[in-house]
Structure 1
Amino acid sequence: MKYMIMMFGCASEVVQSRSKEWIAGMQKMLMDLDAELRESGEWVAGDALTDASQARTVRFADGAPVPTDGPFAEIKESLAGYWIVEASEPAHSSTRAAPALAATRTSSTD
């Protein structure tokens, strides 16, 4: 069965609230996890996504798509990236997601 591990966050908040060393460590952990998932055969798909500040809304006007910079609902975090993994049971996908969650926590209480 396939499961999606979704990473939520706000790049601008992380850059402002964390050290360069913390960010580098977090990025290394995510790249290592990605490599592990690929090597184990669990990886199906995955990618990083651009920060919400770069998002666009596409609407149709006169039958043609018209991209704009907004308006957007005010958000504190957005989908930053994802992995789709193959796992025999939900518990295994949760176990695989746990290190990524721990590495990317951005609250001041962690």
Structure 2
Amino acid sequence: MKYMIMMFGGVGETLANRSPAWISGMQKLMMEIDGELRENGELVASDALVDPSQATTVRFRNGAPLPTDGPFAEVKESLAGFWIVDVSEERAVEIASRAVAYIEFPMEIRRLMDHQPDHS
């Protein structure tokens, strides 16, 4: 099965309270997990995302799409990056749990839609 593991990170004040050693440790852990996934052949794709302040949000307003700068209002945690992995659900949970134990920000795991179990 293929799963997307989405990493959410704090912005602004939530990262301001983290030490340079913590930030360095978090980066090291993420690179370590990424390297293991690559080495094991479990990684389909991965990437980090720019800060949400550089995002464009498109909303439907007054009957038409309206692009605006920035993320959703009052965001404390935003999507920071992702892994797409080809693993069991248990392994996906194991990967996310390993990262969450250090970063303390949530991660979301979703099975890719075109990889649903066959119920025929």
What per-residue deviation string (whole Å, max 9, x for no partner) do you get for residues 40-79 of structure 1? 00000111111212211347xxxxx975425842211111
Amino acid at match of 2:32: D
| Aligned-residue RMSD, C-alpha | 2.2
Normalised TM-score (structure 1) = 0.79
Q: State the SS of the aligned residue for 2:12.
A: helix
Q: Structure 1: which 5+ residue stretches go unaligned?
A: 60-64
Range that drifts further, 33-42 or 93-102: 93-102
Q: Structure 2: which 5+ residue stretches go unaligned?
A: 60-64, 106-120
The structure with the largest strand share of the pair is 2
User: Where does residue 28 of structure 1 map in the other structure?
Assistant: 28
Q: State the SS of the aligned residue for 1:28.
A: helix
User: Where does residue 13 of structure 1 map in the other structure?
Assistant: 13
CA shift, 1:9, in A, is: 1.3
- Percent identity between matched residues is 59
Report the Cα distance in structure 2 between the residues aligned to 1:71 and 1:93, rounded to whole angstroms: 27
The structure with the largest helix share of the pair is 1
Report the Cα distance in structure 1 between the residues aligned to 2:89 and 2:72, rounded to whole angstroms: 34
Normalised TM-score (structure 2) = 0.73
Q: State the SS of the aligned residue for 1:83.
A: strand
